[in-house]
Amino acid sequence: MLARRIGLTLLTFVLGIALTAGPAGAVVVDRVAAVVNKEVITLSDVYELGADFITERVDAEGESARREAELEVLDSLIQTELVSQEMTRLGLDVTQDDLEATIDDIARQNGLTRDQLRREVERSGLAWSVYREQLMEQLRSMRFGQSILAPRVSVSEQDLRDLYDQEVRAGFVGAESRTLEGILVPWGADATPEARAALALKLTEDKARYDAGTVTWAELLAEHPESLLAGGRGQLGAFKKGEAIPELDAAAFGVPVGAVSGPIALPNGLMLLRVASSEFAPPPPFEDLRDQLAQELQARKMEQELALWTAQARRQAAVVVKLEPPAGYGVIDRDAAQELSPLAPPPSLMP
């Protein structure tokens, strides 16, 4: 039920802190990965953002997956650059004053001074400059969503009810509740082992008769007026898993509805336990989930609008992707680096 995240995120991948270093005595050869309206995105930018993502893909799928992973990260960077350029063009971009005010708010909300916040960030292993860059991108993403995407999105009452029916009502499985009935035949404090064994044999035979269909549950109840539950016609009530005592809980949820378990030894006697019926809790009412559904549907529609906006922006912009199909980027020896032509594609970049 509604397991998707709520909100708009323009960056698709976890932000890496730095380009992973190669072996000692080697250098990473950088190159242009894409050009977006004269703004250059380098291969090192790709790895700064998505080094962890790319490494995970390569580890899982092999070296042949590297280029596809690089291009996925590059698509995210191109989208981010297009958004940044659009916000600048519209005069809506985040300013340094906006950034500083947000940092002050974050510090205040966490009960820290600005210097203390910086120390906490750096203690976590994140450079302060990278933290500021990430925060700037988040602010830009939020403003872009509010200013550009949100006006394009509408959520109707019928949309919400359709989402509720499709993803809440249809797939909802609430906690099961079982209604139990029993025959509890007591034994006295002075009952001998032989008497207890005889009682256990009698109830075992009663269960076998019920299982064979030669006696009904009502008839068994009538045969045991000594049952401590006879006054309530054997009714114990409804229980969810874990609510009854352990001896009864295991039996109650270990057999089908209508089946009888036992004899079950209890401190005051032996019991035959019958599962009379089973019900599942209904889904939460629509009104209780309305706000959550609205947030979820708004987020989905914003994602769709972002995809449409990005596709249109790429068609209208001068976007040139320089990464060819997998053919060798990388970490090379310093001596070999001197012999390479600056126009030649470097060997494979190994994170």
- CATH code of the domain covering residue 249: 3.10.50.40
Tokens, residue 61: 């799928």
Domain that holds residue 138: 26-158+286-337
Q: What is the pLDDT of residue 325?
A: 56
Residues 209 and 104 in one domain: no
Q: What is the pTM of this model?
A: 0.57
Q: What is the pLDDT of residue 232?
A: 66
In three-state secondary structure terms, 129 is helix
Residues 120 and 30 in one domain: yes
Q: What is the pLDDT of residue 139?
A: 93
Report how far residue 47's alpha carbon sits from residue 64's, in angstroms, rounded to the nearest whole number: 17
**Residue pair 183/271 in contact by the 8 Å Cβ criterion:** yes
Residues 42 and 151 in one domain: yes
**Residue pair 32/337 in contact by the 8 Å Cβ criterion:** no
**Residue pair 36/75 in contact by the 8 Å Cβ criterion:** no
Asked if residue 289 has pLDDT above 50, the reply is yes
Residues 112 and 80 in one domain: yes
pLDDT band of residue 291 (cuts 50, 70, 90) is: very high
pLDDT band of residue 91 (cuts 50, 70, 90) is: very high
Q: What is the pLDDT of residue 340?
A: 33
Asked if residue 17 has pLDDT above 60, the reply is no
Tokens, residue 9: 């995120």
Residues 72 and 193 in one domain: no
**What is the average pLDDT across 249-263?**
91
Whether 164 maps to a domain, the answer reads no
Closest CA to 310 of 21, 23, 86, 55: 86
Say how many domains are in the chain.
Answer: 2
pLDDT band of residue 167 (cuts 50, 70, 90) is: confident
**What is the average pLDDT across 97-114?**
95
**What is the average pLDDT across 225-244?**
85
Residues 211 and 318 in one domain: no
Q: What is the pLDDT of residue 321?
A: 92
* More confident site: 345 or 150: 150
Whether 294 maps to a domain, the answer reads yes
Whether 6 maps to a domain, the answer reads no
Residues 122 and 50 in one domain: yes
Mean of pLDDT over the chain:
82
Whether 250 maps to a domain, the answer reads yes
Q: What is the pLDDT of residue 326?
A: 57
Residues 216 and 75 in one domain: no
Residues 69 and 120 in one domain: yes
Residues 42 and 77 in one domain: yes
Whether 2 maps to a domain, the answer reads no
Residues 81 and 105 in one domain: yes
Asked if residue 230 has pLDDT above 90, the reply is no
Report how far residue 41's alpha carbon sits from residue 44's, in angstroms, rounded to the nearest whole number: 8
DSSP one-letter code for 215: S
Residues 128 and 55 in one domain: yes
